[in-house]
Amino acid sequence: MASRFEVRSFADVPRFFVRALAAWAQLKTSRGAVEASLIAQPLKRTFWTLSAWESREAIHGYARTEPHRGIMRELRPTMRTAVFTFWELPVGELPLDWDDARARLAAQLRADAENAS
């Protein structure tokens, strides 16, 4: 799974970053999490995540559990854009590749834009 978040203003960056760290701490102890990484680009108001999970159910379980669930609700109004993409691959292809993830996110963003039209 990969995600890209862009907050609306520079004023939103510190709160997003602090809350992202709380979600990150939760992820590290979540059942089914295999690996994860985060890229923060505060001067671009953009944050990227890349994670591998044992199953979709594990991802959804993490997202529905506090603090992640509350963080999503709290930060939703600060989002300019949020893009998510999911795919499956064999364990032998880990670790995840950021170039591949960014390409998948760009394709998902295009698909989302086409579906919104």
Find the DSSP H helices in 1-97: 13-28, 56-64, 68-75
**pLDDT-based confidence at 115, cuts 50/70/90?**
confident
Domain span including residue 104: 2-116
CATH code of the domain covering residue 104: 3.30.70.100
Half-sphere exposure of 95 toward its Cβ, with a 13 Å CA cutoff? 7
Tally of domains within the chain? 1
Give per-residue pLDDT as tens, 41-96: 999 999 999 999 999 999 999 999 999 999 999 999 999 999 999 999 998 888 88
b/e for 20-44, b at 16 or more Cβ within 10 A? beebeebbeebeebeebebebeeee
The letter for the amino acid at 102 is R
> How many angstroms separate the CA atoms of 27 and 12, rounded?
22
Contact 105, 4 (CB under 8 A): yes
pTM for this one?
0.89
